[in-house]
Amino acid sequence: MNGLNQTFVFYLNLLATVAYNPMMDIPTYVSLFRQSSPYIHAHRGKTFVITLSGEALLDDHCASLLADIALLQSLGIHVVLVHGARPQLDQCLLDADLDADFADDRRVTDAVTMALAKQAVGATRLNIEARLSMGLPNSPMHGAKIRVVGGNFIVAKPLGVLNGIDYLYSGEVRRVDSCGIQAQLQLGGIVLISPIGFSPTGEAFNLSYLDVATEVAVALTAEKLICISTARGIFIEGTLQRSLSLPAVSEYLSSPNHVPDLEQALLTAAFRGCHGGVARAHLIGYGEDGALLSELFSRQGSGTLVIQDYSETIRAATIDDIGGILELIQPLENQGTLVKRSRERLETEISQFLVAFHPEGFIIGCAALYPLDASTGELACVATRTEFQARGTASRLLLALEDQARAMSIRNLFVLTTQAAHWFQEKGFLETTPDDLPNDKKSLYNYQRNSRILFKAL
Ligand SMILES: CC(C)(COP(=O)(O)OP(=O)(O)OC[C@H]1O[C@@H](n2cnc3c(N)ncnc32)[C@H](O)[C@@H]1OP(=O)(O)O)[C@@H](O)C(=O)NCCC(=O)NCCS
């Protein structure tokens, strides 16, 4: 499908979504569509490896999740889907009156279990193929023709004997046929990979679907590894972590605090993937309808993003950043924290702004420096998006602006603030009075707003 057709399909799908959802008014829809369009451009042509746990496939949200995955494919994203089948295999064992055998959270697969694994994995795979072949009725992807392809893309080897335990037919990935997968992706199909691999001697091995997905993502140097499981994301001390850098992941995994098994497995996969060259890993839950789309097409996301290096870029703002800056500052203007600025005013003042740019491609912070006279400047509009606060972003913006001020021979910096006086004091600013402001600024001082005035000599 060419780019134009994909966009058309996307329009149709969104229109269908609105039609299906009479609660969504047109302005909300237009705003959502505008917000998602940068992501649509950014994701097109990229490879996403998506894992679906066996539990996700049994959940009520499975149908809408598969529709959302199909939607990604129709937007020109190359999708590799790797599925698990742990509860399905457990059920087969239960039906056969057999016990599941685990050691160190890895299944020990004897010959009988392997036969049942083939049965469980095969049935799960066929169910996914069947669902994706239905044209996904009652969903925005109704009528879409989705081609699902699979094959012997994974070469496996036995896990062998570990700590005295022979894992028999439990295996690990030895090689991924990345050329074969790429060729199928270029033809426009969804590549579906099951957690069973084959050795060159012709034996089948039971694999961990997370290991398979990670190795596939690394072999393809995928843009994203997306793990959809029971876990909504990573919670540390009860707080959902929106993003974690690799050092933060390894610190958390090696901390003395107990890390739940699932979180441990997901973070290990994300860490290994990002370390191996995957740009980003997303850990999201299937329990929330639309979690996949909100993670990929909205700024707030829904789960946890793991990135190689969480470091925003600080750079001079351009005219293209005005929308992002307005989106950041308008809520603060509405609550009276920042002085109102019109789009027109921002357009003329944009060269005085610095922005902090998130690796995912959106603005998370801004700050401006207005020269007042040859040696005096005013800092203004220092703001960080709420969900990214307390990570040093505003401190780094301030340092960059102070460097800029020095380069312009500005020696006296003022800032007027109603809410953040203490923050500036901690950065070396001292409280002062309107009398110390340069004359032009003094005459404009808004006594009603009653901002605190702070000063720093550079
Ligand atoms: C003030 C603001 C820019 C700080 O952004 P930030 O990126 O979170 O800043 P940093 O990460 O560099 O600093 C965070 C630290 O400052 C503290 N802090 C944040 N706002 C503060 C405030 N108003 N007063 C005192 N301390 C504050 C945080 O608690 C945190 O401290 P901790 O690390 O000890 O927990 C942000 O809170 C904001 O956007 N506020 C609204 C806009 C505003 O008032 N701007 C100033 C007027 S120009």
**Pick from 307, 336, 367: which residue ends a domain?**
307
Residue 70 clears pLDDT 60, i.e. is over it? yes
Domains: count for the chain? 2
Q: Ligand 1: does its nearest atom lie under 6 Å from the Cβ of 337?
A: yes
Residue 330 clears pLDDT 90, i.e. is over it? yes
- Going by their DSSP bridges, the two strands 47-52 and 224-229 should be labelled as parallel
Both structure tokens of 374: 């040859």
**Pick from 252, 285, 307: which residue ends a domain?**
307
Q: Are residues 347 and 378 in the same domain?
A: yes
The Å distance, Cα 423 to ligand 1 centre, comes to: 6
The Å distance, Cα 399 to ligand 1 centre, comes to: 14
Q: At what angle do helices 178-186 and 209-220 cross, to 10 degrees?
A: 80
**pLDDT 10s digits, 101-143:** 999 888 999 999 999 999 999 999 999 999 888 765 565 556 6
Q: Ligand 1: does its nearest atom lie under 6 Å from the Cβ of 413?
A: no
Residue 207 clears pLDDT 70, i.e. is over it? yes
Measured from the Cβ of residue 285, the count of other Cβ atoms closer than 10 Å reads 21
At residue 85, the pLDDT reads: 97
**Pick from 307, 339, 358: which residue ends a domain?**
307
Q: Are residues 297 and 318 in the same domain?
A: no
| Domain harbouring 440, CATH code | 3.40.630.30
Residue 5 clears pLDDT 70, i.e. is over it? no
Q: Are residues 346 and 275 in the same domain?
A: no
The Å distance, Cα 386 to ligand 1 centre, comes to: 10
Which among 310, 256, 278, 293 has a CA at the least distance from the CA of 36?
293
Lowest mean pLDDT among 12-21, 168-177, 213-222, 422-431: 12-21
Measured from the Cβ of residue 200, the count of other Cβ atoms closer than 10 Å reads 10
At residue 146, the pLDDT reads: 84
Write the residue with the smallest CA distance to atom 26 of ligand 1. 423
What is the residue-averaged pLDDT of the chain?
89
| 8 band by pLDDT with thresholds 50, 70 and 90 | very low
At residue 381, the pLDDT reads: 96
From residue 113, how far is each of 14, 167, 206, 211, 425 by CA, in Å? 45, 11, 9, 19, 66
- Between CA 357 and CA 208 the distance in angstroms is 36
Both structure tokens of 56: 């996700």
At residue 4, the pLDDT reads: 43
Q: Are residues 202 and 294 in the same domain?
A: yes
| 144 band by pLDDT with thresholds 50, 70 and 90 | low
Residue type, 245: S
Residue 19 clears pLDDT 50, i.e. is over it? no
Q: Ligand 1: does its nearest atom lie under 6 Å from the Cβ of 393?
A: yes
Using a 10 angstrom Cβ sphere, with 0-12 exposed, 13-18 middle and 19 or more buried, the burial of residue 106 is middle
Residue 165 clears pLDDT 90, i.e. is over it? yes
Among 413, 423, 429, say which to mutate for ligand 1: greatest number of ligand atoms within 8 Å of CB: 423
Q: Are residues 120 and 54 in the same domain?
A: yes
The Å distance, Cα 294 to ligand 1 centre, comes to: 27
From residue 271, how far is each of 11, 263, 266, 307, 428 by CA, in Å? 35, 12, 9, 9, 38
Q: Are residues 302 and 344 in the same domain?
A: no
At residue 2, the pLDDT reads: 44
Both structure tokens of 11: 């329009």
Helix (H) or strand (E) holding 358: none
**9-16 contacts at long range (C-beta below 8 A, 24 or more positions apart):** 9/74, 9/75, 9/144, 10/40, 10/71, 10/74, 10/75, 13/71, 13/74, 13/140, 13/141, 14/140, 16/140, 16/142
| 406 band by pLDDT with thresholds 50, 70 and 90 | very high
The Å distance, Cα 338 to ligand 1 centre, comes to: 13
- What pTM value is reported for the model? 0.68
Residue 293 clears pLDDT 80, i.e. is over it? yes
- Between CA 67 and CA 142 the distance in angstroms is 9
Range of the domain at 174: 3-307
Q: Are residues 137 and 273 in the same domain?
A: yes
| Domain harbouring 204, CATH code | 3.40.1160.10
Q: Are residues 335 and 270 in the same domain?
A: no
Write the residue with the smallest CA distance to atom 22 of ligand 1. 420
Give 445 or 62, the one with higher predicted confidence: 62
Q: Are residues 351 and 422 in the same domain?
A: yes
Could you give the 3-state DSSP secondary structure of residue 364?
Answer: strand
Q: Are residues 150 and 275 in the same domain?
A: yes
Distance of CA 99 to the CA centre of its chain: 38
Q: Ligand 1: does its nearest atom lie under 6 Å from the Cβ of 369?
A: no
Highest mean pLDDT among 22-31, 74-83, 129-138: 74-83
DSSP designation for 321? G
The Å distance, Cα 415 to ligand 1 centre, comes to: 14
- Going by their DSSP bridges, the two strands 304-307 and 243-245 should be labelled as parallel
The Å distance, Cα 83 to ligand 1 centre, comes to: 43
| 79 band by pLDDT with thresholds 50, 70 and 90 | very high
Q: Residues 101, 261, 305, CA angle at the centre, nearest 5°?
A: 135
Q: Are residues 302 and 356 in the same domain?
A: no
Q: Ligand 1: does its nearest atom lie under 6 Å from the Cβ of 332?
A: yes
Q: Ligand 1: does its nearest atom lie under 6 Å from the Cβ of 73?
A: no
Among 239, 379, 389, say which to mutate for ligand 1: greatest number of ligand atoms within 8 Å of CB: 389
Give 21 or 335, the one with higher predicted confidence: 335
At residue 38, the pLDDT reads: 73
**pLDDT 10s digits, 219-265:** 999 999 999 999 999 998 888 888 888 888 988 998 887 888 999 99
Q: Are residues 173 and 281 in the same domain?
A: yes
